[in-house]
Structure 1
Amino acid sequence: MVTPVREHAARAPALEPDATPSAQRHVLRHRDFTLTSVFQPVFSLSHMRAVGYEGLLRAHDIFDRPVPPLDVFGDAARHGEMHYVDRLAQSLHLENFKALRVEREWLFLNIHAGALADSYHAAAFRAHLDRLELSPRRIVIELQAVRAEDFDKLAEEAGRFREQGFLIALDDFGAGDSNLERIWQLDPDIVKVDRMMLSQAAHRTQAAAILPGFVSMLHEAGKLVLVEGVETEHEAQLAFSCDVDFVQGFYFGRPNPSVADSVYAGDRIAALAERHRTRIEARERMRAGRLAPYVQAFGRAGERLAQGEPIEEVCWNFLALDHAARCFLLDEHGRQAGRNVVLRADRAGQEARFAPVADAQGANWMRRPYFNAAIDAPDRIHATKPYLSINEALPCVTLSMAVRIDERLCVLCGDIDWQPDGDDDGV
Structure 2
Amino acid sequence: MSTEQHDKTATAPHGFDLSVASGLERYSAQHGELTLTSVFQPVFSLSHMRAIGYEGFLRAHDALDRPVSPLDVFGAAARVGEALQVDRLAQALHLENFALLGAEREWLFLNVHPGTLTDPYHAAALLANLRRLDLPPRRVVLEVLDVPNVPDVQGMDKTEAMDLDALAHAVAEFREHGFLVALDDFGAGHVDIGRVWQLNPDIVKLDRIMLLHAAHRADMAATLPALVALLHEAGKLVLIEGVETEHEAQLALSCNADFVQGFFFARPAPGLTDAAHAQAVIAEVTERFREQTEARERGMASRLAPYVRAFERAAERLGAGEALEEVCWNFLALDHAARCFLLDANGRQAGRNVVLRVDRAEHDARFLPLDDAQGANWLRRPYFRAALVAPGRVHASPPYLSINEALPCVTLSMAVQVGDRLCVLCGDVDWLAEEAA
- Is the structural similarity TM-score above 0.5? yes
Post-superposition shift, 1:121? 2.6
Match of 2:337 among 305, 324, 333: 324
Match of residue 207 from structure 1? 220
Match of 2:382 among 345, 352, 369: 369
Q: For residues 321-360 of structure 1, what are the structure 2 equivalents within 5 Å? A: 321-360=334-373
Secondary structure at the aligned position of 1:88 is classed as helix
Q: Is the 8 A contact 1:38 1:56 kept in 2?
A: yes
Q: Is the 8 A contact 1:6 1:15 kept in 2?
A: no
Secondary structure at the aligned position of 1:26 is classed as strand
Q: Quick one: distance in 1 between partners of 2:69 and 2:423?
A: 67
Match of residue 41 from structure 2? 40
Q: Quick one: distance in 2 between partners of 1:60 and 1:299?
A: 71
Matched, 1:269 2:270: no
Q: Is the 8 A contact 1:109 1:140 kept in 2?
A: yes
Q: For residues 207-356 of structure 1, what are the structure 2 equivalents within 5 Å? A: 207-356=220-369
Aligned amino acid, residue 105 of structure 2 = R
Measured against aligned partners, the alpha-carbon deviations of 1:340-362 in whole angstroms (never above 9, x if no partner) come to 11114131111111000100000
Q: Quick one: distance in 2 between partners of 1:366 and 1:17?
A: 67
Q: CA separation of 1:2/1:400 partners in 2, compared to 1, >3 Å: closer, same or farther?
A: farther
Q: Quick one: distance in 1 between partners of 2:300 and 2:21?
A: 61
Aligned amino acid, residue 96 of structure 1 = N
Aligned amino acid, residue 101 of structure 1 = G
Post-superposition shift, 1:421? 4.2
Aligned-pair identity in percent equals 65
Match of residue 10 from structure 1? none
Q: CA separation of 1:5/1:258 partners in 2, compared to 1, >3 Å: closer, same or farther?
A: farther
Secondary structure at the aligned position of 1:280 is classed as helix
Q: Quick one: distance in 2 between partners of 1:43 and 1:99?
A: 20
User: Please, which moves more after superposition, 161-170 or 61-70?
Assistant: 61-70
Post-superposition shift, 1:6? 7.2
Q: CA separation of 1:16/1:398 partners in 2, compared to 1, >3 Å: closer, same or farther?
A: closer
Measured against aligned partners, the alpha-carbon deviations of 1:239-287 in whole angstroms (never above 9, x if no partner) come to 1111100001000000000001112211111111111111111111111
Q: Is the 8 A contact 1:39 1:256 kept in 2?
A: yes
Q: CA separation of 1:16/1:244 partners in 2, compared to 1, >3 Å: closer, same or farther?
A: closer
Secondary structure at the aligned position of 1:72 is classed as helix
Post-superposition shift, 1:153? 1.5
Residue ranges of structure 1 left out of the alignment (5+ in a row): 8-12
Secondary structure at the aligned position of 1:217 is classed as helix
Post-superposition shift, 1:148? 7.0
Q: Quick one: distance in 2 between partners of 1:221 and 1:32?
A: 46
Match of 1:150 among 163, 170, 180: 163
Secondary structure at the aligned position of 1:59 is classed as strand
Post-superposition shift, 1:177? 5.6
Q: CA separation of 1:421/1:5 partners in 2, compared to 1, >3 Å: closer, same or farther?
A: farther
Post-superposition shift, 1:74? 2.2
Provide the aligned length of Structure 1 versus Structure 2.
418
Q: CA separation of 1:384/1:31 partners in 2, compared to 1, >3 Å: closer, same or farther?
A: same
Match of residue 67 from structure 1? 68
Q: CA separation of 1:16/1:359 partners in 2, compared to 1, >3 Å: closer, same or farther?
A: closer
Q: CA separation of 1:14/1:70 partners in 2, compared to 1, >3 Å: closer, same or farther?
A: closer
Aligned amino acid, residue 368 of structure 2 = A
Q: Is the 8 A contact 1:5 1:24 kept in 2?
A: no
Q: Quick one: distance in 2 between partners of 1:116 and 1:14?
A: 23
Aligned amino acid, residue 258 of structure 1 = G
Q: Quick one: distance in 1 between partners of 2:32 and 2:173?
A: 33
Measured against aligned partners, the alpha-carbon deviations of 1:370-395 in whole angstroms (never above 9, x if no partner) come to 11111111021111111111111111
Post-superposition shift, 1:122? 2.3
Residue ranges of structure 2 left out of the alignment (5+ in a row): 9-14, 149-159
Q: Is the 8 A contact 2:352 2:372 kept in 1?
A: yes
Q: Is the 8 A contact 1:5 1:26 kept in 2?
A: no
Q: Quick one: distance in 1 between partners of 2:278 and 2:66?
A: 30
Q: Quick one: distance in 1 between partners of 2:300 and 2:74?
A: 53
Aligned Cα RMSD in Å?
A: 2.2
Matched, 1:25 2:38: no
Q: CA separation of 1:6/1:288 partners in 2, compared to 1, >3 Å: closer, same or farther?
A: farther
Q: Is the 8 A contact 1:6 1:23 kept in 2?
A: no
User: Please, which moves more after superposition, 91-100 or 149-158?
Assistant: 149-158
Post-superposition shift, 1:227? 0.5
Secondary structure at the aligned position of 1:119 is classed as coil
Q: Is the 8 A contact 2:2 2:17 kept in 1?
A: no
Matched, 1:419 2:420: no
Runs of 4 or more consecutive aligned structure 1 residues displaced over 6 Å after TM superposition = 1-4, 13-16
Q: Is the 8 A contact 1:2 1:27 kept in 2?
A: no
Secondary structure at the aligned position of 2:424 is classed as strand
User: Please, which moves more after superposition, 78-87 or 395-404?
Assistant: 78-87
Secondary structure at the aligned position of 1:256 is classed as coil
Q: CA separation of 1:19/1:28 partners in 2, compared to 1, >3 Å: closer, same or farther?
A: closer
Aligned amino acid, residue 65 of structure 1 = R
Match of residue 88 from structure 1? 89
Q: Is the 8 A contact 2:27 2:97 kept in 1?
A: yes
